[in-house]
Chain A
Amino acid sequence: MTHAVLPDTNSRPEPGWLKRNKLAIAPWIFLIPALIFFSIYVVIPIFESLWLSLYKWNGLYDVDGNSTAVWVGFENYAKLWYDPNFWTSLRNNIAWLILYMLAVPLGLFIALFLNQTVTGMRFYKSMFFFPFVISQVVVGLIFGWFYNPDFGVVGTLWKAVFCEETTNILGNTTFVCSRPAPDILSSPEWATYGIIAAGLWPQIAYCMILYLTGLNNVAADQIEAARLDGAKGWKMLWYVVVPQLKPATFIAVVVTVIGALRSFDMIAIMTQGGPFGSTNVLSHYMFEVAISEYGERYGYGSSVATVLFGIMLFFISYFLWRMYQDEKGGR
């Protein structure tokens, strides 16, 4: 910082250390509150969780307030390796990651579709954005009812096609079906996809809004120039519009990846990981083994959390690296 200090021709007293280093210190002073809270609520718990994953602990303290945890080294991780529920959860996490990516192109197409000037377009836009505004819990509930084979949309349509209305032994109305209605959320094969479909609904809306703002910044002169050169349709989209949307695409991918890995609310609301653990993902499995009613295995839960943390760290490091590269290039 010495270059900032001009040669002092006046005979004023030398300014204090604080004053001389003002520019270097000021950002840190502003950062301190955030850093304190970030370390208390994020950084320290991460290390605590890593440490806890090497213990066997049911979460209880004894009378004197000492933890009852027992050191087991890497035993929890060895157990994970042979735990079929863990592998099911991991497989489901991958299914979430892959299928959730559909939100990005679908969001783009809805954004393109909505990016025109028609009377009342703001209203339509806000309607398309609506699913992102409502809580994930509500979305989960709505889709849970939607899939319900008895009174949901799926069940009602099925009844209309395959079922006959009759009266039962007591004379009450009932339905006799030639084949039973599909019970999506209770089927080990389909339940995960049912939940992902529910999760996609708000996620598409999110990606759409990101692309809509991106489309506002697409340079009109480049479109004009491309049109003069005879570009249209897919070629226009792929070679002219999409490259200009690169920042929006990047953010959309980031939020979708993180959203997929964090998928907890929908599962907790729609299936609680069931039927028999087949819709668990790592985040919900961690909750289940550690703090749910039948959990009480905090060390084991922490080892699940550690694996999930590792996966997230991989993606997050990549994203941060990309952002850093872009910033460097942009300068």
Chain B
Amino acid sequence: MFLNLKTAVAAIALSAVAGTVFARDLVINFDDLNPGPKKGFEDAVEMFKAENPDINVIVNINDREAHKTAIRNFLTADAPDVTSWYPGNRMAPFVDAGLFQPVDDVWEENGFSEDLSAIKATMSRDGKIWGVPYSYYQWGIYYRKDIFGLLELEEPQTWDELLAACGKMKENGVTPFTIGTKFLWTAAGVFDYINLRTNGYDVHNALTAGEIKYTDPRIVATFDNWEQLINECGFVDNHASMSWQDAIAPFANGDAAMYVMGNFSVDGYKNAGLTEDQIDFMPFPTIDANVPPAEEAPADAFFIPTNAKNVEDAKKFLAFVARPDVQTEWNKTMGQLPINSKAGISDDKFIQEGFALLNGATGLAQFYDRDAPAAMAKAGMEGFQEFMLDPSKKDAILKRLDEVQAEVY
């Protein structure tokens, strides 16, 4: 309510000052206060204002966690004209409750089906498109280039090469992988990748949509591979009491050599004192050569609430954020990847590699906890953490996940 009050006060104050100069208000709620993303958004809004002087843009920026709570109220009580949110299953409750409106016409008029094709399936539900994405980032393996150099290792391309490289690391007293599973989701990244490489994108989607069981032989195969990774490669001890930031410490110290993570973690490595010469990025190795490559690439998007007052200008803004030149600038500032295939990218090496990786992908998963419904995601990720602590409990965990699945969907 406080936020809404602030909006109202800002609106009144602005209209008092501006008088009749501004014809229309456009209220946008955004969800990231971190310096990079905030600046990227604000710059884009400035540009939009310059192009549309007749629109009075009112911006509310909240931090992510607060936004997640606030959106549940403001969509009904006092809807903005545009709000940021996430695609995949995260948008499902709002779509199902009729709180977002479809934006198929924005996609058609601007040729987004073409330029944003990789993400179209993720933005769709019930045969309609519900939002426009502005940014995403890649997941993969970040590794210590200097350790790989000392051990004379190449980037492993296949599962067997990865296991062989792990063997060599362990002989030399290096723990292959670091991870911090205290907040659960990091384990889901590892699971998603092993599953995408073992079974592919369609199985990932079918699983998170509740169409196949966790005791399905294909998912069991994923867990068997994971068990092999735990036994032959291995993760740092005590990972269940570390956050993902804590897990950077053994990586920075050289005790662990690899980290399955998203590109947002690069800042963390640099803050821990690592330079670009010491770290590098590689795609997660192939497990089954017949499975087409699919990647993990969570996207951020904008949506129009059903209760929006200024839908016309909201659609104008949505068309604006997906424009190639806007996405280029925005993502350079944010340090992420533009989704529009016509957009340019910065010369940061991780961004370059990520861009090449995602352009070659046949499918983009949003991440386990965005693709699966909340209750399933929670139970699933707890199961992953339990499995990582004790792989011998596999059968019991999978059986329990089946029970949760039967109840959730």
A residues adjacent to B (C-beta < 8 A)? 58-63, 65, 68, 79, 84, 147-150, 166, 168-170, 172, 174, 176, 180-181, 183, 185-186, 188, 272, 274-277, 288-289, 291, 293-297
From known contacts A169-B147, A274-B385, infer whether A148 and B97 are also in contact, taking CB-CB under 8 Å: no
A174 touches B241 (CB 8 A): no
A274 touches B184 (CB 8 A): yes
Interchain residue pairs with CB less than 8 A apart (17): A60-B75, A60-B97, A65-B77, A79-B407, A149-B237, A149-B241, A169-B172, A172-B255, A174-B253, A174-B254, A180-B237, A181-B238, A183-B237, A183-B238, A186-B241, A293-B68, A296-B93
From known contacts A60-B93, A63-B99, infer whether A275 and B240 are also in contact, taking CB-CB under 8 Å: yes
Q: Please give 4 more A-B residue pairs, beta carbons under 8 A apart, in addition to A172-B254, A294-B378.
A: A62-B76, A62-B97, A149-B237, A294-B375
From known contacts A176-B173, A274-B182, infer whether A150 and B93 are also in contact, taking CB-CB under 8 Å: no
Contacts of B173 in A (CB 8 A): 166, 168-169, 176
Contacts of A277 in B (CB 8 A): 382
Q: How far is B184's CA from A272's CA once the two chains are assembled, in angstroms?
A: 10
Query: Which one of A59, A272, A276, A291 lies within 8 Å of B386 (CB-CB)?
Result: A276
B174 touches A169 (CB 8 A): yes
Q: In chain B, residues 222-250, which have Cβ atoms closer than 8 Å to a Cβ of chain A? A: 237-238, 240-241, 249
Q: How far is B157's CA from A284's CA once the two chains are assembled, in angstroms?
A: 44
Query: Which one of A62, A79, A150, A276 lies within 8 Å of B99 (CB-CB)?
Result: A62
Contacts of B208 in A (CB 8 A): none
Classify the interface of chain A: helix, strand, loop or mixed: loop
Contacts of B374 in A (CB 8 A): 293-296
**CB closest residue in chain B, given A61:** B76
- Closest chain B CB from A314 CB (angstroms): 29
From known contacts A183-B238, A185-B241, infer whether A62 and B386 are also in contact, taking CB-CB under 8 Å: no
From known contacts A58-B93, A60-B97, A277-B382, infer whether A183 and B241 are also in contact, taking CB-CB under 8 Å: yes
Contacts of A62 in B (CB 8 A): 76, 97-99
Query: Which one of B172, B306, B400 lies within 8 Å of A84 (CB-CB)?
Result: B400
Q: In chain B, residues 348-406, which have Cβ atoms closer than 8 Å to a Cβ of chain A? A: 369, 374-375, 377-378, 382-383, 385-386, 389, 400
Query: Which one of B77, B93, B241, B307 lies within 8 Å of A148 (CB-CB)?
Result: B241
B76 touches A63 (CB 8 A): yes
- Closest chain A CB from B314 CB (angstroms): 15
From known contacts A174-B255, A181-B238, infer whether A60 and B99 are also in contact, taking CB-CB under 8 Å: yes
- Closest chain A CB from B250 CB (angstroms): 8
- Closest chain A CB from B182 CB (angstroms): 7
**CB closest residue in chain B, given A300:** B375
Q: How far is B246's CA from A148's CA once the two chains are assembled, in angstroms?
A: 11
- Closest chain B CB from A2 CB (angstroms): 52
- Closest chain A CB from B299 CB (angstroms): 18
List the 10 closest pairs (A to B, CB-CB), nearest first.
Answer: A186-B240, A170-B254, A294-B378, A276-B382, A61-B76, A276-B386, A294-B374, A186-B241, A60-B97, A183-B238
Q: How far is B407's CA from A289's CA once the two chains are assembled, in angstroms?
A: 14
Interface centre among A150, A188, A291, A295 (most CB of B within 10 A): A150
B97 touches A61 (CB 8 A): yes
